[in-house]
Chains A and B, each alone.
Chain A
Amino acid sequence: MTIAIETGAMSADLWKLDTKISHLQHSSVRLKGGLQLPIAESLNAETGRIEPLPVHSIDLQLFDNAAELKRRMSIIAMHLPISLRDTIRNQVDRLLSLEHWEEDSSLVSSLSFVTFLRFLVHSKAVKLPGLGVSPLAHVLASWHDGNTKLLVNFMPNEKAKATIIRPSDRRDAKAEDFEITGWQGNVASLKHFLARNEVLHCIE
Protein backbone atom coordinates (compact mmCIF):
# COMPACT_ATOMS: atom_id res chain seq x y z
CA MET A 1 0.00 0.00 0.00
CA THR A 2 1.38 3.42 -0.87
CA ILE A 3 0.22 6.59 0.76
CA ALA A 4 0.95 9.69 -1.26
CA ILE A 5 0.85 12.86 0.83
CA GLU A 6 1.34 15.94 -1.28
CA THR A 7 1.33 18.58 1.46
CA GLY A 8 2.87 18.70 4.89
CA ALA A 9 -0.35 19.89 6.54
CA MET A 10 -2.59 17.44 8.34
CA SER A 11 -6.19 17.76 7.35
CA ALA A 12 -8.98 17.08 9.82
CA ASP A 13 -10.21 14.44 7.38
CA LEU A 14 -7.01 12.49 7.92
CA TRP A 15 -8.37 11.27 11.23
CA LYS A 16 -11.44 9.88 9.46
CA LEU A 17 -9.18 8.19 6.90
CA ASP A 18 -7.11 6.70 9.70
CA THR A 19 -10.26 5.38 11.33
CA LYS A 20 -11.28 3.75 8.09
CA ILE A 21 -7.85 2.23 7.58
CA SER A 22 -7.90 0.77 11.08
CA HIS A 23 -11.23 -0.82 10.16
CA LEU A 24 -9.34 -2.72 7.49
CA GLN A 25 -7.94 -4.93 10.21
CA HIS A 26 -10.47 -7.63 9.65
CA SER A 27 -12.96 -8.47 12.31
CA SER A 28 -13.93 -12.08 12.26
CA VAL A 29 -15.28 -14.79 14.51
CA ARG A 30 -12.74 -17.55 15.08
CA LEU A 31 -14.42 -20.92 15.32
CA LYS A 32 -13.17 -24.07 16.98
CA GLY A 33 -10.35 -25.49 14.86
CA GLY A 34 -9.08 -22.12 13.70
CA LEU A 35 -11.62 -21.75 10.91
CA GLN A 36 -12.79 -18.20 10.53
CA LEU A 37 -16.35 -17.09 10.02
CA PRO A 38 -15.54 -14.29 7.66
CA ILE A 39 -17.27 -11.10 8.58
CA ALA A 40 -14.25 -9.12 7.46
CA GLU A 41 -14.66 -5.64 6.08
CA SER A 42 -12.68 -3.54 3.68
CA LEU A 43 -12.60 0.06 2.58
CA ASN A 44 -13.93 0.57 -0.92
CA ALA A 45 -11.84 3.44 -2.18
CA GLU A 46 -14.27 4.35 -4.92
CA THR A 47 -17.29 4.74 -2.66
CA GLY A 48 -15.41 5.45 0.58
CA ARG A 49 -17.65 2.93 2.33
CA ILE A 50 -16.77 -0.01 4.55
CA GLU A 51 -18.01 -3.17 2.87
CA PRO A 52 -17.91 -6.86 3.79
CA LEU A 53 -15.22 -8.94 2.12
CA PRO A 54 -16.27 -11.97 0.11
CA VAL A 55 -16.89 -15.07 2.21
CA HIS A 56 -14.03 -17.60 2.06
CA SER A 57 -15.31 -21.16 1.91
CA ILE A 58 -13.90 -23.91 4.13
CA ASP A 59 -12.14 -25.57 1.19
CA LEU A 60 -10.44 -22.29 0.32
CA GLN A 61 -9.27 -21.86 3.93
CA LEU A 62 -7.91 -25.42 3.89
CA PHE A 63 -6.18 -24.78 0.56
CA ASP A 64 -4.67 -21.54 1.85
CA ASN A 65 -3.47 -23.20 5.07
CA ALA A 66 -1.84 -26.09 3.14
CA ALA A 67 -0.32 -23.58 0.69
CA GLU A 68 1.18 -21.54 3.54
CA LEU A 69 2.70 -24.65 5.15
CA LYS A 70 4.20 -25.77 1.83
CA ARG A 71 5.60 -22.30 1.29
CA ARG A 72 7.21 -22.45 4.74
CA MET A 73 8.64 -25.88 3.96
CA SER A 74 10.09 -24.67 0.65
CA ILE A 75 12.31 -22.23 2.57
CA ILE A 76 14.34 -25.07 4.08
CA ALA A 77 13.41 -27.84 1.63
CA MET A 78 16.98 -28.23 0.35
CA HIS A 79 18.03 -29.51 3.78
CA LEU A 80 15.37 -32.23 4.02
CA PRO A 81 15.69 -35.69 2.45
CA ILE A 82 13.37 -35.98 -0.56
CA SER A 83 11.42 -38.89 0.97
CA LEU A 84 10.78 -36.91 4.16
CA ARG A 85 9.77 -33.83 2.18
CA ASP A 86 7.30 -35.78 0.04
CA THR A 87 5.81 -37.56 3.03
CA ILE A 88 5.30 -34.32 4.95
CA ARG A 89 3.72 -32.70 1.91
CA ASN A 90 1.35 -35.66 1.51
CA GLN A 91 0.47 -35.59 5.21
CA VAL A 92 -0.25 -31.85 5.04
CA ASP A 93 -2.56 -32.46 2.07
CA ARG A 94 -4.30 -35.24 3.99
CA LEU A 95 -4.67 -33.25 7.23
CA LEU A 96 -6.08 -30.29 5.35
CA SER A 97 -8.29 -32.03 2.83
CA LEU A 98 -12.02 -31.52 2.79
CA GLU A 99 -12.40 -35.28 2.50
CA HIS A 100 -10.67 -35.93 5.84
CA TRP A 101 -11.97 -32.81 7.58
CA GLU A 102 -14.09 -33.50 10.65
CA GLU A 103 -15.97 -31.31 13.07
CA ASP A 104 -13.15 -31.37 15.63
CA SER A 105 -10.31 -30.97 13.10
CA SER A 106 -8.02 -27.95 13.32
CA LEU A 107 -6.12 -25.82 10.89
CA VAL A 108 -2.34 -25.88 11.43
CA SER A 109 -0.43 -22.95 12.92
CA SER A 110 2.30 -22.04 10.43
CA LEU A 111 4.58 -20.91 13.28
CA SER A 112 4.21 -24.30 14.97
CA PHE A 113 4.98 -25.95 11.62
CA VAL A 114 8.16 -23.87 11.31
CA THR A 115 9.29 -25.08 14.78
CA PHE A 116 8.68 -28.66 13.60
CA LEU A 117 10.71 -28.12 10.40
CA ARG A 118 13.58 -26.48 12.27
CA PHE A 119 13.75 -29.51 14.56
CA LEU A 120 13.80 -31.93 11.61
CA VAL A 121 16.81 -30.20 10.04
CA HIS A 122 18.65 -29.62 13.31
CA SER A 123 18.23 -33.21 14.51
CA LYS A 124 18.93 -34.67 11.04
CA ALA A 125 15.82 -36.81 11.47
CA VAL A 126 15.35 -39.33 8.69
CA LYS A 127 12.52 -41.46 10.05
CA LEU A 128 9.08 -40.35 9.02
CA PRO A 129 6.84 -39.11 11.84
CA GLY A 130 3.10 -39.51 11.96
CA LEU A 131 1.56 -36.04 12.00
CA GLY A 132 -1.50 -34.72 13.76
CA VAL A 133 -2.85 -31.38 14.95
CA SER A 134 -3.69 -30.34 18.51
CA PRO A 135 -6.86 -28.38 19.33
CA LEU A 136 -4.58 -25.33 19.63
CA ALA A 137 -3.42 -25.87 16.01
CA HIS A 138 0.02 -27.14 17.05
CA VAL A 139 1.82 -29.82 15.03
CA LEU A 140 1.88 -33.16 16.87
CA ALA A 141 4.52 -35.60 15.65
CA SER A 142 4.95 -39.19 16.75
CA TRP A 143 7.81 -41.58 16.14
CA HIS A 144 7.82 -45.27 17.09
CA ASP A 145 10.76 -47.63 17.31
CA GLY A 146 10.06 -51.04 18.80
CA ASN A 147 8.37 -50.49 22.15
CA THR A 148 9.52 -46.89 22.41
CA LYS A 149 7.24 -44.03 21.44
CA LEU A 150 8.24 -40.39 21.11
CA LEU A 151 5.49 -37.79 21.01
CA VAL A 152 6.30 -34.14 20.41
CA ASN A 153 4.02 -31.11 20.50
CA PHE A 154 5.65 -28.36 18.41
CA MET A 155 4.52 -24.91 19.44
CA PRO A 156 5.04 -21.48 17.88
CA ASN A 157 8.17 -19.49 18.70
CA GLU A 158 10.63 -22.36 19.03
CA LYS A 159 8.90 -24.08 21.94
CA ALA A 160 8.25 -27.81 22.18
CA LYS A 161 6.96 -30.43 24.61
CA ALA A 162 8.14 -34.02 24.30
CA THR A 163 7.04 -37.27 25.91
CA ILE A 164 8.91 -40.57 25.77
CA ILE A 165 6.91 -43.71 26.51
CA ARG A 166 8.85 -46.97 26.85
CA PRO A 167 8.78 -50.23 28.84
CA SER A 168 9.89 -49.77 32.41
CA ASP A 169 13.38 -51.08 33.25
CA ARG A 170 12.68 -51.49 36.96
CA ARG A 171 13.58 -54.91 38.31
CA ASP A 172 10.08 -55.58 39.62
CA ALA A 173 8.33 -54.19 36.54
CA LYS A 174 5.60 -56.20 34.85
CA ALA A 175 5.49 -56.63 31.10
CA GLU A 176 2.77 -54.00 30.74
CA ASP A 177 4.53 -51.38 32.89
CA PHE A 178 5.65 -48.27 31.05
CA GLU A 179 7.92 -45.41 31.95
CA ILE A 180 6.95 -41.91 30.84
CA THR A 181 9.51 -39.10 30.62
CA GLY A 182 8.46 -35.52 29.85
CA TRP A 183 10.34 -32.46 28.67
CA GLN A 184 9.50 -28.89 27.71
CA GLY A 185 11.78 -26.18 26.34
CA ASN A 186 13.39 -24.57 23.32
CA VAL A 187 13.34 -26.84 20.29
CA ALA A 188 17.11 -26.33 19.85
CA SER A 189 17.60 -28.39 23.05
CA LEU A 190 15.20 -31.19 22.13
CA LYS A 191 17.88 -33.28 20.41
CA HIS A 192 20.02 -33.18 23.60
CA PHE A 193 17.02 -34.39 25.60
CA LEU A 194 16.55 -37.31 23.21
CA ALA A 195 20.27 -38.16 23.30
CA ARG A 196 20.35 -37.98 27.09
CA ASN A 197 17.47 -40.44 27.24
CA GLU A 198 18.97 -42.67 24.53
CA VAL A 199 15.99 -42.46 22.18
CA LEU A 200 17.62 -40.82 19.16
CA HIS A 201 17.07 -44.15 17.39
CA CYS A 202 13.38 -43.16 17.13
CA ILE A 203 14.18 -40.40 14.65
CA GLU A 204 17.53 -41.42 13.09
Chain B
Amino acid sequence: MVDSRDLANALIDNEPYIGRLLIVMANLRKMFAYDKPPITEAVISLHLGNSVKQTDLERFAAKQKASFPRSETLMEHNFKVEENKRPQASIAKRGIRLTSKEQDRIIMVDSTQFAVIHLAPYKDWSLLFEDTKTQWKRFVGVTGEHNPKRISTRFINRIDIPIEDGGSLNLADYFAIGPSLPVDIKALVMDEFHLAFGLLDRSKSFKHMLQIAKIPNSPLIDHVSIAIDIDVFSLAVLPLKDDELWQIVYSLRDLKNDLFEACITDKTRELFR
Protein backbone atom coordinates (compact mmCIF):
# COMPACT_ATOMS: atom_id res chain seq x y z
CA MET B 1 0.00 0.00 0.00
CA VAL B 2 1.32 3.47 -0.88
CA ASP B 3 1.40 5.87 2.04
CA SER B 4 -0.34 9.20 1.35
CA ARG B 5 2.74 11.17 2.43
CA ASP B 6 5.03 9.17 0.14
CA LEU B 7 2.60 9.76 -2.69
CA ALA B 8 2.47 13.48 -1.93
CA ASN B 9 6.25 13.79 -1.83
CA ALA B 10 6.57 11.82 -5.07
CA LEU B 11 4.07 14.11 -6.79
CA ILE B 12 5.65 17.36 -5.61
CA ASP B 13 8.19 17.46 -8.45
CA ASN B 14 5.90 16.68 -11.40
CA GLU B 15 2.49 17.63 -10.10
CA PRO B 16 3.24 20.36 -7.55
CA TYR B 17 -0.37 21.43 -7.02
CA ILE B 18 -1.73 17.91 -6.51
CA GLY B 19 1.29 17.01 -4.37
CA ARG B 20 0.85 20.04 -2.13
CA LEU B 21 -2.89 19.44 -1.95
CA LEU B 22 -2.24 15.91 -0.73
CA ILE B 23 0.14 17.24 1.92
CA VAL B 24 -2.48 19.76 3.06
CA MET B 25 -5.05 16.94 3.21
CA ALA B 26 -2.66 14.73 5.16
CA ASN B 27 -2.02 17.56 7.63
CA LEU B 28 -5.74 18.31 7.92
CA ARG B 29 -6.39 14.65 8.68
CA LYS B 30 -3.74 14.79 11.38
CA MET B 31 -5.60 17.66 13.00
CA PHE B 32 -8.61 15.46 13.65
CA ALA B 33 -8.20 13.34 16.72
CA TYR B 34 -8.36 9.59 16.24
CA ASP B 35 -11.53 7.85 17.47
CA LYS B 36 -9.46 5.26 19.31
CA PRO B 37 -6.10 6.89 20.06
CA PRO B 38 -3.48 4.21 20.79
CA ILE B 39 -1.92 6.26 23.59
CA THR B 40 -1.60 4.29 26.81
CA GLU B 41 0.36 6.91 28.73
CA ALA B 42 0.84 10.65 28.08
CA VAL B 43 3.19 12.63 30.29
CA ILE B 44 4.28 16.26 30.59
CA SER B 45 7.25 16.70 32.92
CA LEU B 46 8.95 19.74 34.35
CA HIS B 47 12.42 18.90 35.61
CA LEU B 48 13.11 20.81 38.80
CA GLY B 49 15.96 23.25 39.24
CA ASN B 50 16.05 22.78 43.01
CA SER B 51 15.24 19.74 45.09
CA VAL B 52 11.94 20.01 46.94
CA LYS B 53 11.50 19.02 50.58
CA GLN B 54 9.43 15.92 51.27
CA THR B 55 7.34 17.89 53.78
CA ASP B 56 6.39 20.36 51.03
CA LEU B 57 5.41 17.48 48.78
CA GLU B 58 3.20 16.08 51.53
CA ARG B 59 1.54 19.48 51.99
CA PHE B 60 0.89 19.58 48.23
CA ALA B 61 -0.58 16.03 48.38
CA ALA B 62 -2.90 17.01 51.23
CA LYS B 63 -4.26 19.96 49.21
CA GLN B 64 -4.96 17.66 46.24
CA LYS B 65 -6.82 15.05 48.31
CA ALA B 66 -10.27 15.80 46.82
CA SER B 67 -9.19 15.20 43.20
CA PHE B 68 -6.41 12.72 43.93
CA PRO B 69 -7.56 10.61 46.89
CA ARG B 70 -4.78 8.02 46.64
CA SER B 71 -1.41 9.27 47.81
CA GLU B 72 1.65 7.04 47.95
CA THR B 73 5.07 7.99 49.21
CA LEU B 74 7.86 6.97 46.87
CA MET B 75 10.52 5.21 48.90
CA GLU B 76 14.11 4.46 48.09
CA HIS B 77 15.53 1.35 49.74
CA ASN B 78 19.24 0.73 49.98
CA PHE B 79 21.14 -2.19 51.43
CA LYS B 80 24.87 -1.94 51.84
CA VAL B 81 26.99 -5.01 52.49
CA GLU B 82 30.70 -4.71 53.23
CA GLU B 83 33.23 -7.34 54.21
CA ASN B 84 33.58 -7.78 57.99
CA LYS B 85 30.91 -5.17 58.67
CA ARG B 86 27.27 -5.46 59.61
CA PRO B 87 24.95 -4.92 56.62
CA GLN B 88 23.41 -1.49 56.61
CA ALA B 89 19.96 -0.70 55.36
CA SER B 90 18.33 2.63 54.75
CA ILE B 91 14.96 3.76 53.55
CA ALA B 92 14.36 7.33 52.45
CA LYS B 93 11.26 9.14 51.23
CA ARG B 94 11.93 10.32 47.70
CA GLY B 95 8.66 11.77 46.43
CA ILE B 96 4.92 11.27 46.08
CA ARG B 97 2.53 9.71 43.61
CA LEU B 98 -1.07 10.91 43.58
CA THR B 99 -3.78 8.99 41.71
CA SER B 100 -7.27 10.15 40.78
CA LYS B 101 -10.30 8.10 41.83
CA GLU B 102 -10.90 6.90 38.26
CA GLN B 103 -7.22 5.88 37.92
CA ASP B 104 -6.92 7.93 34.77
CA ARG B 105 -4.68 10.75 36.06
CA ILE B 106 -1.49 10.65 38.09
CA ILE B 107 0.75 13.36 39.50
CA MET B 108 4.23 12.16 40.32
CA VAL B 109 6.79 14.36 42.00
CA ASP B 110 10.23 13.39 43.20
CA SER B 111 13.28 15.43 44.01
CA THR B 112 14.09 15.94 40.32
CA GLN B 113 10.82 16.26 38.43
CA PHE B 114 7.13 17.13 38.47
CA ALA B 115 5.03 15.05 36.08
CA VAL B 116 1.36 14.94 35.15
CA ILE B 117 0.32 11.65 33.55
CA HIS B 118 -2.90 10.86 31.68
CA LEU B 119 -3.61 7.18 31.11
CA ALA B 120 -5.79 5.43 28.51
CA PRO B 121 -8.41 6.11 27.37
CA TYR B 122 -6.51 9.24 26.32
CA LYS B 123 -8.79 12.15 25.54
CA ASP B 124 -7.01 15.20 24.31
CA TRP B 125 -3.70 17.09 24.36
CA SER B 126 -5.39 20.30 25.48
CA LEU B 127 -6.80 18.54 28.57
CA LEU B 128 -3.36 17.22 29.50
CA PHE B 129 -1.76 20.60 28.81
CA GLU B 130 -4.30 22.60 30.86
CA ASP B 131 -4.22 20.00 33.65
CA THR B 132 -0.42 20.26 33.85
CA LYS B 133 -0.58 24.07 33.94
CA THR B 134 -3.16 23.99 36.74
CA GLN B 135 -1.32 21.39 38.83
CA TRP B 136 2.03 23.14 38.35
CA LYS B 137 0.53 26.44 39.53
CA ARG B 138 -0.76 24.70 42.68
CA PHE B 139 2.60 23.00 43.17
CA VAL B 140 4.45 26.32 42.88
CA GLY B 141 1.95 27.86 45.31
CA VAL B 142 2.79 25.25 47.96
CA THR B 143 6.50 24.64 47.40
CA GLY B 144 7.72 27.94 45.95
CA GLU B 145 9.47 26.01 43.17
CA HIS B 146 9.11 27.98 39.96
CA ASN B 147 12.23 27.50 37.91
CA PRO B 148 12.22 24.28 35.86
CA LYS B 149 15.49 23.59 34.10
CA ARG B 150 14.08 21.25 31.47
CA ILE B 151 10.71 20.24 30.08
CA SER B 152 9.71 17.04 28.37
CA THR B 153 6.74 15.16 27.04
CA ARG B 154 6.51 11.42 26.73
CA PHE B 155 3.85 9.49 24.86
CA ILE B 156 3.66 5.72 24.95
CA ASN B 157 1.52 4.29 22.16
CA ARG B 158 0.49 0.67 21.80
CA ILE B 159 -0.55 -0.43 18.32
CA ASP B 160 -2.72 -3.55 18.51
CA ILE B 161 -2.64 -5.30 15.15
CA PRO B 162 -5.12 -8.12 14.49
CA ILE B 163 -3.53 -11.34 13.35
CA GLU B 164 -4.95 -14.78 12.73
CA ASP B 165 -3.85 -17.62 14.96
CA GLY B 166 -0.53 -18.88 13.56
CA GLY B 167 -0.37 -16.01 11.05
CA SER B 168 2.58 -13.69 10.51
CA LEU B 169 2.91 -9.93 10.38
CA ASN B 170 4.75 -7.83 7.82
CA LEU B 171 5.95 -4.88 9.89
CA ALA B 172 6.53 -2.77 6.77
CA ASP B 173 2.76 -2.74 6.15
CA TYR B 174 2.24 -0.88 9.42
CA PHE B 175 5.48 0.96 10.19
CA ALA B 176 7.89 3.15 8.27
CA ILE B 177 10.54 2.21 10.80
CA GLY B 178 11.65 -1.14 12.07
CA PRO B 179 14.27 -3.83 12.35
CA SER B 180 15.67 -5.81 9.46
CA LEU B 181 17.46 -9.15 9.39
CA PRO B 182 20.11 -10.32 6.91
CA VAL B 183 18.43 -11.85 3.87
CA ASP B 184 20.45 -15.05 4.27
CA ILE B 185 18.68 -15.87 7.54
CA LYS B 186 15.73 -17.81 6.27
CA ALA B 187 15.35 -20.49 8.92
CA LEU B 188 14.53 -17.97 11.68
CA VAL B 189 11.57 -15.71 12.28
CA MET B 190 11.64 -12.57 14.38
CA ASP B 191 9.82 -13.19 17.64
CA GLU B 192 10.85 -10.07 19.55
CA PHE B 193 12.63 -6.80 18.88
CA HIS B 194 13.44 -3.56 20.67
CA LEU B 195 14.95 -0.55 18.90
CA ALA B 196 16.01 2.74 20.49
CA PHE B 197 17.09 5.96 18.77
CA GLY B 198 18.31 9.32 20.06
CA LEU B 199 17.37 11.99 17.53
CA LEU B 200 18.49 15.60 17.63
CA ASP B 201 16.57 18.31 15.78
CA ARG B 202 18.55 20.60 13.47
CA SER B 203 18.27 23.60 15.79
CA LYS B 204 19.66 21.44 18.63
CA SER B 205 16.87 22.76 20.84
CA PHE B 206 15.14 19.42 21.36
CA LYS B 207 16.10 15.81 21.62
CA HIS B 208 13.77 12.93 20.76
CA MET B 209 14.18 9.51 22.30
CA LEU B 210 12.30 7.04 20.12
CA GLN B 211 11.77 3.41 21.06
CA ILE B 212 9.81 0.80 19.17
CA ALA B 213 9.37 -2.71 20.50
CA LYS B 214 7.15 -5.74 20.32
CA ILE B 215 5.20 -6.24 23.53
CA PRO B 216 5.73 -9.88 24.62
CA ASN B 217 2.07 -10.64 25.40
CA SER B 218 -0.58 -8.59 23.67
CA PRO B 219 -3.41 -7.65 26.02
CA LEU B 220 -5.82 -8.62 23.22
CA ILE B 221 -6.66 -12.06 21.88
CA ASP B 222 -5.38 -12.76 18.32
CA HIS B 223 -3.36 -9.53 18.16
CA VAL B 224 0.28 -8.52 18.00
CA SER B 225 1.06 -5.35 19.96
CA ILE B 226 3.87 -2.94 19.11
CA ALA B 227 4.86 -0.09 21.43
CA ILE B 228 6.06 3.25 20.10
CA ASP B 229 7.50 5.33 22.91
CA ILE B 230 8.37 8.95 22.11
CA ASP B 231 10.11 11.17 24.65
CA VAL B 232 10.83 14.74 23.50
CA PHE B 233 12.73 17.10 25.78
CA SER B 234 14.18 20.60 25.63
CA LEU B 235 17.92 21.16 25.50
CA ALA B 236 17.96 24.96 25.36
CA VAL B 237 17.85 27.21 28.43
CA LEU B 238 14.21 27.76 29.36
CA PRO B 239 12.62 31.22 29.58
CA LEU B 240 11.71 32.52 33.02
CA LYS B 241 8.35 33.94 31.96
CA ASP B 242 5.48 31.48 32.41
CA ASP B 243 3.78 32.28 29.09
CA GLU B 244 6.94 31.64 27.12
CA LEU B 245 7.62 28.45 29.06
CA TRP B 246 4.17 27.03 28.32
CA GLN B 247 4.52 28.00 24.69
CA ILE B 248 7.56 25.73 24.50
CA VAL B 249 5.67 22.94 26.26
CA TYR B 250 2.88 23.33 23.72
CA SER B 251 5.33 23.11 20.84
CA LEU B 252 6.43 19.67 22.07
CA ARG B 253 3.07 18.36 20.92
CA ASP B 254 3.77 18.96 17.24
CA LEU B 255 7.24 17.49 17.53
CA LYS B 256 6.01 14.23 19.02
CA ASN B 257 3.01 14.09 16.64
CA ASP B 258 5.20 14.56 13.58
CA LEU B 259 7.55 11.82 14.70
CA PHE B 260 4.72 9.42 15.48
CA GLU B 261 2.93 10.07 12.19
CA ALA B 262 6.19 9.57 10.31
CA CYS B 263 6.65 6.16 11.95
CA ILE B 264 3.29 4.69 10.91
CA THR B 265 1.44 3.99 7.66
CA ASP B 266 -2.16 4.57 6.57
CA LYS B 267 -2.90 0.93 7.35
CA THR B 268 -2.00 1.63 10.97
CA ARG B 269 -4.06 4.84 11.02
CA GLU B 270 -7.10 2.80 9.96
CA LEU B 271 -6.77 0.83 13.22
CA PHE B 272 -7.41 4.01 15.23
CA ARG B 273 -10.57 5.09 13.38
Question: Chain A: residues with CB nearer than 8 A to chain B?
Answer: 1-7, 9-11, 13-14, 16-17, 43-46, 48, 63, 67, 70-71, 74-79, 85, 89, 114, 118-119, 121-122, 187-188
Question: Which residues of B, 30-79, contact A by the 8 Å Cβ criterion?
Answer: 36-38, 40, 69-70, 76-79
Question: Which residues of B, 213-234, contact A by the 8 Å Cβ criterion?
Answer: 219-222
Total interface residues in chain B, CB < 8 Å: 34
Nearest CB of B to A197, in Å: 20
Q: Residues of A contacting B122 with CB < 8 Å?
A: 78
A47, B17: Cα distance in complex, Å: 76
Asked if B102 CB lies within 8 Å of chain A CBs, one says yes
A10, B83: Cα distance in complex, Å: 7
Partner of A11, one of B40, B70, B81: B81
Partner of B77, one of A2, A71, A188: A2
- Residues A122 and B121 in contact, CB atoms below 8 Å apart: no
Q: Known A-B contacts: A1-B77, A79-B36. Give 18 more (CB < 8 A).
A: A3-B81, A5-B81, A6-B82, A11-B84, A14-B81, A17-B81, A67-B70, A67-B99, A70-B102, A71-B119, A75-B40, A77-B120, A85-B121, A89-B102, A114-B219, A118-B220, A119-B221, A122-B220
- Residues B103 and A17 in contact, CB atoms below 8 Å apart: no
Q: Residues of A contacting B84 with CB < 8 Å?
A: 11
Asked if B80 CB lies within 8 Å of chain A CBs, one says yes
Asked if B204 CB lies within 8 Å of chain A CBs, one says no
Nearest CB of B to A204, in Å: 17
A119, B89: Cα distance in complex, Å: 46
* Contact (A67, B81) CB under 8 Å given A13-B87, A46-B91: no
- Residues A7 and B78 in contact, CB atoms below 8 Å apart: no
Nearest CB of B to A81, in Å: 10
13 A-B pairs within 8 Å (CB atoms) are namely: A1-B79, A5-B79, A6-B80, A9-B83, A13-B86, A14-B87, A67-B70, A67-B103, A70-B104, A78-B36, A79-B36, A121-B221, A187-B221
A89, B100: Cα distance in complex, Å: 14
Asked if B29 CB lies within 8 Å of chain A CBs, one says no
Q: Residues of A contacting B69 with CB < 8 Å?
A: 63
Asked if B110 CB lies within 8 Å of chain A CBs, one says no
Q: Residues of B contacting A13 with CB < 8 Å?
A: 81, 86-87
Question: Chain B: residues with CB nearer than 8 A to chain A?
Answer: 36-38, 40, 69-70, 76-87, 89-91, 99, 102-104, 119-122, 160, 219-222
Partner of A78, one of B79, B82, B104, B121: B121
Q: Residues of B contacting A76 with CB < 8 Å?
A: 219-220
- Residues B83 and A43 in contact, CB atoms below 8 Å apart: no
A1, B38: Cα distance in complex, Å: 31
* Contact (A122, B119) CB under 8 Å given A13-B86, A17-B79, A45-B91: no
- Residues B220 and A4 in contact, CB atoms below 8 Å apart: no
- Residues B90 and A79 in contact, CB atoms below 8 Å apart: no
Question: Closest residue to A121 on the B side, CB-wise?
Answer: B220
- Residues B80 and A122 in contact, CB atoms below 8 Å apart: no
Q: Residues of A contacting B120 with CB < 8 Å?
A: 74-75, 77-78
Q: Residues of A contacting B79 with CB < 8 Å?
A: 1-5, 17
- Residues A11 and B89 in contact, CB atoms below 8 Å apart: no
- Residues B219 and A2 in contact, CB atoms below 8 Å apart: no
